[in-house]
Amino acid sequence: MINFHTHALWSDGELLPAELARRAEYLGYKALAITDHADFSNLEILIPRICNVCQKLRGSLNIQIIPGVELTHLPPGDIAQAAKEARLLGAQIVVVHGETIVEPVMPGTNLRALESEINILAHPSLITEDEIKLAKEGGGRAYHPERPFAYQWSYSSMCNQVWSAAYFKYRFTFSFRSY
């Protein structure tokens, strides 16, 4: 099992990163990304801390701990720049909080995220068929070697098809940068 979208205490999670990683290892996960919520106000604080704890945990646990970030509630026009900055700061997984009926994410977020160098578009319950096709195809300017994909933890057949296709396609090919 893998989970590339988790939160620690730095956003809306309840666990310290070390506890989050240990619990995932105990449950049999092989890889875990710590992707707390961020925007331009905390990228430079958050990502180095996540990278630091991932590096310290590396070798102590039998699980790959990956530093990442979830870009949340950014204006769609800022997503590409924020993803680029996150990468420069050390994020190996970039998640974007998609458009959803639950939160007032700005319209256009899903499309701009899929056109940017991101890995995961999360919670896209308001995703269009064209955006699903774009996610399934890997987006326009996908970050190498991964491609962005969308997933939704619901039983929507369209979204589950995208998640299944993306999961099985990248399950065995995802490569992690070593520290």
Residue extents of the structural domains in the chain: 67-171
Cα–Cα distances (Å) from 58 to 15, 87, 126, 134, 166, in that order, read 18, 20, 37, 34, 26
Residue 135's pLDDT is what?
Answer: 84
- Token pair, residue 86, equals 């996150």
Residue 92's pLDDT is what?
Answer: 95
Residue 137's pLDDT is what?
Answer: 78
Residue 85's pLDDT is what?
Answer: 98
Nearest to 94 by CA among 61, 78, 116: 116
Residue ranges of the chain with per-residue pLDDT less than 50: 140-179
CA dist 111 and 139 (Å) reads: 9
Residue 116's pLDDT is what?
Answer: 93
